[in-house]
Structure 1
Amino acid sequence: MTGGSVARVLVDSPLPQLDQLFDYRVPDRLRDQVKAGVRVRVPLRSGGRIANGWLVELVESSEFEGRLSELEDVVSEVPLLVPEVWALARAVADRAAGNASDVLRLAVPSRYVRVERSWAAAAPDPGALPQASAPIHGADDGRLERGLRAGERMWFSADPRPVRLDSGVWVGAWALTLAQAAARVLADDRSSLLIVPDYRDQEQLQSALEAVVDARRIIRTDARQTGGARFRSFLDATGDAARIVVGNRSTVYAPAARLGLIAMWDDGDSLMNEPLAPGVHPRDAALIRTEQSGAALLFAGHAPSVEVVRLVEIGWVVEVTGTRHARPRVIATENQFSQEPGSARIPSAAWRQAQEAARHGPVLVQVARPGNTPLLACDRCREPARCAACGGGLAIPREGGVARCLLCGTAANGWACPTCEGTRLRAVTIGASRTADELGRAFPNTRVVLSDGEKPVLRVGADPALVVATRGAEPIADGGYRAVLLLDGERMLLRESLRVAEDCLRWWSNAAALVAPGSPVFLVGVGGALATALTTWRQGDWAASELASRRALRFPPAVRVASVTASAANVASAVTAVTAVPGVDALGPTPVDDGLSRALVRFDYAAGARVARELRAEMIRVATERRRPVSGRPVRRPAVLRVRFDDPDVP
């Protein structure tokens, strides 16, 4: 045993009152097995239960004056919790009034004994370190290289073009930029964490990495791996060799020897939102980790998130100017109302160019949703049409006939718009499958490819084809698309969300970046500031304007917001406690499901630590208050107080 005879343990429990380190005595039978970072089993005083936990550190003595309980057992042979990850988990949990054990469930995958033992017995060869040579793609005068060496926090607008690797594989230019940045850091014998929204981006990034570094230095970790493979990747990352770890949002918590870079692609993607408690966005976790480690931080994308624009405005992140590259040629068609017969609602100018482009290579058609059924809206005010019985969306069945509700099937006979009292309906979204059918009839000699969540396609060749894809599911084409049609923009903007315009601009920008240089991109049915931002490729200016509007209204990210959900009495108590902090105000409460209420608490960033402490104290109070059983009545469920900081579901 090393370090001392007292083990300080974090109990793996969702109870807020147990989110602290407990001291346990190390028995003689376990002295040769205990190490900081191993999983252990410990007794709890209540009911003689045994719980799992993490041995965070070993010390010589305890401040507790009574008799310490003994460790029950050591579970893992290999230390899985490295000090850097523990420090990050503790800081992230404190920022969000959450439990550190919840963060560690995201950070450390499930244990596989056979994999652990085979890894411990092996002596893996991590491969050779690369030699720093070529400048990083898309950046001017070595600016990114200097920022990496200095450990700066940077935002970089990526080159919006596909590029061909030496291996012959085509990827987005952004993937090559991130791969070369990681290779530059690896050449200095330091590790990198590369975080992307989904496996499509991960495939491109891994291809780019394999073109510039030894594949043995690359560690892939994502939910598509088997449990054993993911655990093996995690164990490899705990070693002493510098590595490049590539994965989704939980990669920000991966162990890394001598961390030198955290790079995040498209941080505004909704797939980056962490659904599991405490729900901290990887962008915020990355900011904390760079402060703790001194590593460089690189946000990259085609359209910056409003959160990153705020960080740039306050000077916390510096904007790095890229090389002047050819931006996509985007054409807004808002005023081109004439449509070709059978053209799937495509304006005539875009239709003619798509016909010509399809003779020479692939053409991309982006639509809002999968399926065949057209969704409907009011023809006068464009509000989505809803069922009068259940509130579901109205649509026309594929076989035709009267409009019906997608949820309950009720016919929309005699429908009237509750907003403007209009009685006429219009189709605003036709699904990907129906669009593919229509285009297949209009282009009888052209291959039609459908890509959506159910039928994903990662790549298409350079041969003529019509590729119909839902937003976010667009394949990358060899050499780039000869034309891109962005349909259903009007429908996309009807979604009720604070971030709808930001999301649409990002979806359109990412699709436009797949076009071949000089080829056209048509934005159908959208005008105003969003169309201007896309056609001029000045998404950052639009995001800065959006931030100014939210600042005037005290909307996030100009301020932080925490949602508090509990019984009406407990919500009122929590709101009273937290609004005593200067600069804090509350909205609500409003009723939600199961007889609970929800209030929103708004506060400035400087007050975040104190707000988190106050709400944490309320959570512990509610969880520990005594409840006396009432004769003849069933035992009530324990009261809960749920707190979510920076809740992405807040409209």
Structure 2
Amino acid sequence: MSAETVARVLIDSPLPQLDRLFDYAIPEELRAEALPGVRVKVPFRSAGRSAEGYLVELGEPGEEYSGRLSPLESVVSIVPVLSPELWSLARKVADRSAGNASDVLRLAIPPRQVRVEKAFLRDGSAAASAPLPLPLTELDGYGSEVLEAVAGGARLAVAAVPRPVRLDSGESVGHWALTLAQLAADTLARRRSAILAVPDFRDQDQLEAALHTLVPEARILRSDARQANADRYRSFLSALGDEPVVIVGNRSAVYAPAPALGLIALWDDGDPLFSEQLSPYANARDAALIRQESSGAALVLLAHSASIEARRLVQLGWLTVCAPTKVWTPHIVPTAQQAGGDAQFAAARIPSTAWTQAREALAHGPVLVQVARPGYAPALACASCRHSARCGVCQGPLGRRSANAVPACQWCGTLAPSWHCGNCGGTELRTVGVGAGRTAEDLGRAFPGAKVVVADGERPILTIGSEPALIVATRGAEPRAEGGYRAVLLLDGERMLARESLGVDLDCLRLWSNAAALSAPGAPTMLAAVAGPIATALATWRQDQYTDRELADRRTLRFPPAVRVASVTGFPDTVAAAIDALPPSEHLDVLGPVGVDDGLTRAIVRFDYGLGPEVASSLRASVVAAATSRRKPAPGKPAYRTPNTLRVRFDDPEILA
């Protein structure tokens, strides 16, 4: 390192105007430690203030500045947590979303834990002494074709086998978990690392169970929000070494460091949990696509019902479709809309055909009943005028958690023991919606003597045995049954489809497909009170055809993902300036702006994918300009800097909801 070498540092700050590299001089005493990737502390502005950041690279001083550079204050840690690959990924994800690279790194790199770091520097990673699995000759259900494609770095959209499978350990998991575990084990056998991302902890538990039957435990690293900070940082450090590992986690796992990356796989990429809720709001699928293109690793999107984004990539030829060698189709039974003749069955919303199938199946094992909403009565209304019952504090909807519970607000939780209707003055309430608790109560009367279990967000249940029972579960919270369910009832289909959202039908199709895949081979799956093309797609297990038709309609209407969209929210003048600065193009149009809360306005920008870099760069410049602008001062008062009120979100899932 020459005496003229400078350190280029990324300041860890959410301010958009600081999203660039700053040059700092390297003191002589820090030259041995100031290496790319380490955490550093640097002086920043005046009054002796300092900031932390990452030393991204070493280089020669820039010609545009001839003054004296401020020196680095200290090297916080000698561990190079920011690899060149991770920095490149963070920069590309941020640029694509008009966001800050430091915000991406905040998701990717866990907070520093000094004790964990010292132990790692002393002992190293346990993966170094763990054996590697043997390579596989074929993938269960797919033969050798998928293995060969993954070994060659292909990009695949794989149709999952819709059935449960029993592992060598005796545990029952979805076949998709075994598929990903085998792909990861074969990748590891070739001395390459694998990243496996799943939506939530239920899926992660299945995947880890399958991995433990194929891969040594020391080579499996977790990266998820359930971990304590120390455990997450320990896993992160273990992935920095040279030994290949398998990284399992939720959406942030796609940013994990992985030596010699050979596979990036996402299970059920259409799940909204893959959408990041923090700036720059990048979807894990998009981050995986960027990382695959730069790393050359194989990419696998595995699902029972492929997302519309994946189908678009298939039609562009960017993804190759892979199907199982054998046709595995759940036994979907069409049901009539009328409920059974008994009032109890009508209250339970069970069509007569479905009731007959469920009664027969209940004699042999568990039966799954999927419902739309948790709670007892998710919505209440005035018994006299039928106006929605609202909270007197925040105007949120009232509901009940149990039959005799006091009505409470679903937003703020305020109890309403003496509620009265603001429209007619009535004091009596009637149930409008039926939740999991009420459904379980009705099923208990419809099937006397049967064991009824409720599984939802408040009562999470991961697994159940093979004994007869009625399992009432909200969508996405279904426990997996040993050997599979003997029947699956999908209730509240019309209510689920009535939600106002652009992709509600595809979301329902995905949830129903995942529930049907929990059934035992040959067990019936019944979709109640839903007809039309979406019911046909589920019954024939041809979800891709339905999704392709939806994609064709969106191309006609210029809806995402046929085009990209970005929402621009802020004060009217800043939004107008941002829109005026956009590059002129016939492939770009603006909807709005329209007023939103607190005097702000919002505009929606639609544009073709080819314009993405230009639009992102323009909107990014507008965000920086808004953050650094000064308001005109009132007479006799100094100018002041405005808060950063311009908010840009690309591929915003809320704007078309």
TM-score norm. by structure 1 comes to 0.93
Aligned AA (2:648): V
C-alpha distance in structure 1 between counterparts of 2:305 and 2:146, whole Å: 19
Structure 1 match to 2:253: 251
Question: Pick from 289, 292, 299: which aligns with 1:290?
Answer: 292
Maintained 8 Å contact 1:394/1:412: no
Measured against aligned partners, the alpha-carbon deviations of 1:564-621 in whole angstroms (never above 9, x if no partner) come to: 0110011111111115244111111111122111100000000000001111111111
Residue 131 (structure 1) aligned with residue 134 (structure 2): yes
Structure 2 match to 1:500: 504
Structure 2 vs 1, CA of residues 257 and 374 (structure 1 numbering), >3 Å: closer, same or farther?
closer
Q: CA deviation at 1:14?
A: 1.4
User: Equivalent residue of 1:45, what SS?
Assistant: coil
Q: CA deviation at 1:341?
A: 2.7
Measured against aligned partners, the alpha-carbon deviations of 1:283-334 in whole angstroms (never above 9, x if no partner) come to: 1111110110000000000111110010001111111122223311112325
C-alpha distance in structure 1 between counterparts of 2:390 and 2:533, whole Å: 32
Structure 2 match to 1:420: none
Residue 467 (structure 1) aligned with residue 471 (structure 2): yes
Structure 2 vs 1, CA of residues 49 and 460 (structure 1 numbering), >3 Å: closer, same or farther?
same
Question: Pick from 270, 273, 287: which aligns with 2:275?
Answer: 273
Structure 2 vs 1, CA of residues 414 and 11 (structure 1 numbering), >3 Å: closer, same or farther?
closer
Higher mean C-alpha displacement, 110-119 vs 591-600 = 591-600
User: Equivalent residue of 2:631, what SS?
Assistant: coil
Residue 642 (structure 1) aligned with residue 647 (structure 2): yes
Residue 74 (structure 1) aligned with residue 57 (structure 2): no
C-alpha distance in structure 2 between counterparts of 1:366 and 1:46, whole Å: 60
Structure 2 vs 1, CA of residues 427 and 537 (structure 1 numbering), >3 Å: closer, same or farther?
farther
Structure 1 match to 2:575: 571
Residue 117 (structure 1) aligned with residue 118 (structure 2): yes
Higher mean C-alpha displacement, 47-56 vs 480-489 = 47-56
Q: CA deviation at 1:397?
A: 8.8
Structure 2 vs 1, CA of residues 394 and 53 (structure 1 numbering), >3 Å: closer, same or farther?
closer
Residue 163 (structure 1) aligned with residue 168 (structure 2): no
Question: Pick from 224, 231, 234: which aligns with 1:232?
Answer: 234
Maintained 8 Å contact 1:368/1:429: no
C-alpha distance in structure 2 between counterparts of 1:339 and 1:311, whole Å: 48
Structure 2 match to 1:422: none
Aligned AA (1:588): G
1:394-473 equivalences under 5 Å are 399=403, 411=420, 429-473=433-477
Maintained 8 Å contact 1:334/1:527: no
Unpaired stretches in structure 1, ≥5 consecutive residues: 416-424
Residue 527 (structure 1) aligned with residue 531 (structure 2): yes
Structure 2 match to 1:39: 39
Structure 2 vs 1, CA of residues 536 and 426 (structure 1 numbering), >3 Å: closer, same or farther?
farther
Q: CA deviation at 1:67?
A: 1.0
User: Runs of 4 or more off by more than 4 Å in structure 1?
Assistant: 1-4, 383-415, 425-428, 631-637
Structure 2 vs 1, CA of residues 235 and 328 (structure 1 numbering), >3 Å: closer, same or farther?
same
C-alpha distance in structure 2 between counterparts of 1:97 and 1:352, whole Å: 55
Aligned AA (1:219): L
Q: CA deviation at 1:393?
A: 4.6
C-alpha distance in structure 1 between counterparts of 2:2 and 2:458, whole Å: 52
Structure 2 match to 1:153: 155
Aligned AA (2:37): G
Q: CA deviation at 1:135?
A: 1.3
C-alpha distance in structure 2 between counterparts of 1:611 and 1:45, whole Å: 31
Measured against aligned partners, the alpha-carbon deviations of 1:175-222 in whole angstroms (never above 9, x if no partner) come to: 000110111111100000000000000000001111111111110111
C-alpha distance in structure 1 between counterparts of 2:407 and 2:45, whole Å: 62
C-alpha distance in structure 2 between counterparts of 1:643 and 1:384, whole Å: 37
Structure 2 vs 1, CA of residues 34 and 396 (structure 1 numbering), >3 Å: closer, same or farther?
closer
Measured against aligned partners, the alpha-carbon deviations of 1:18-71 in whole angstroms (never above 9, x if no partner) come to: 111111000112122211101111112255421111100112444332211101
Structure 2 vs 1, CA of residues 581 and 391 (structure 1 numbering), >3 Å: closer, same or farther?
farther
Measured against aligned partners, the alpha-carbon deviations of 1:496-520 in whole angstroms (never above 9, x if no partner) come to: 1111111111111100000001011
Structure 2 match to 1:107: 108
1:495-644 equivalences under 5 Å are 495-578=499-582, 580-630=584-634, 637-644=642-649
Structure 2 vs 1, CA of residues 486 and 325 (structure 1 numbering), >3 Å: closer, same or farther?
same
Maintained 8 Å contact 1:332/1:526: no
Higher mean C-alpha displacement, 433-442 vs 454-463 = 433-442
User: Equivalent residue of 1:280, what SS?
Assistant: coil
Measured against aligned partners, the alpha-carbon deviations of 1:352-403 in whole angstroms (never above 9, x if no partner) come to: 221221111111011111111154799xxxx996869987557689658999
C-alpha distance in structure 1 between counterparts of 2:387 and 2:326, whole Å: 41
Structure 2 match to 1:419: none
1:178-327 equivalences under 5 Å are 178-327=180-329
Residue 15 (structure 1) aligned with residue 15 (structure 2): yes
C-alpha distance in structure 2 between counterparts of 1:396 and 1:100, whole Å: 44
Q: CA deviation at 1:449?
A: 1.6
Structure 2 match to 1:84: 85
C-alpha distance in structure 2 between counterparts of 1:429 and 1:339, whole Å: 22
Structure 2 vs 1, CA of residues 144 and 93 (structure 1 numbering), >3 Å: closer, same or farther?
same
Measured against aligned partners, the alpha-carbon deviations of 1:112-165 in whole angstroms (never above 9, x if no partner) come to: 0010010110033311111113411221x4221121122111101100000001
Q: CA deviation at 1:632?
A: 7.2
Aligned AA (2:621): A
Higher mean C-alpha displacement, 315-324 vs 163-172 = 315-324
Q: CA deviation at 1:74?
A: 0.9
C-alpha distance in structure 2 between counterparts of 1:67 and 1:76, whole Å: 26
Structure 1 match to 2:57: 57
RMSD between aligned residues: 2.7
Higher mean C-alpha displacement, 240-249 vs 460-469 = 460-469
1:343-422 equivalences under 5 Å are 343=345, 344-373=348-377, 375=379, 392-393=396-397, 399=403, 411=420
C-alpha distance in structure 2 between counterparts of 1:265 and 1:402, whole Å: 41
Structure 2 vs 1, CA of residues 265 and 2 (structure 1 numbering), >3 Å: closer, same or farther?
farther
Measured against aligned partners, the alpha-carbon deviations of 1:76-116 in whole angstroms (never above 9, x if no partner) come to: 12111111111100011111111100000000011100100
Maintained 8 Å contact 1:339/1:346: no
Q: Percent identity?
A: 56
Aligned AA (1:591): G
Q: How many residues align?
A: 638
C-alpha distance in structure 2 between counterparts of 1:569 and 1:303, whole Å: 44
C-alpha distance in structure 2 between counterparts of 1:2 and 1:153, whole Å: 43
Structure 2 vs 1, CA of residues 352 and 605 (structure 1 numbering), >3 Å: closer, same or farther?
same
Measured against aligned partners, the alpha-carbon deviations of 1:227-257 in whole angstroms (never above 9, x if no partner) come to: 1001000001111100000000000000000
Unpaired stretches in structure 2, ≥5 consecutive residues: none
Higher mean C-alpha displacement, 433-442 vs 356-365 = 433-442
Higher mean C-alpha displacement, 605-614 vs 115-124 = 115-124
C-alpha distance in structure 1 between counterparts of 2:191 and 2:446, whole Å: 56
Aligned AA (2:31): R
Structure 2 vs 1, CA of residues 165 and 49 (structure 1 numbering), >3 Å: closer, same or farther?
same
User: Equivalent residue of 1:115, what SS?
Assistant: helix
Aligned AA (1:201): D
TM-score norm. by structure 2 comes to 0.92
C-alpha distance in structure 2 between counterparts of 1:236 and 1:86, whole Å: 18
Aligned AA (1:442): A
C-alpha distance in structure 1 between counterparts of 2:430 and 2:296, whole Å: 55
C-alpha distance in structure 1 between counterparts of 2:404 and 2:82, whole Å: 59
Maintained 8 Å contact 1:581/1:610: no
C-alpha distance in structure 2 between counterparts of 1:413 and 1:355, whole Å: 45
Aligned AA (2:627): A
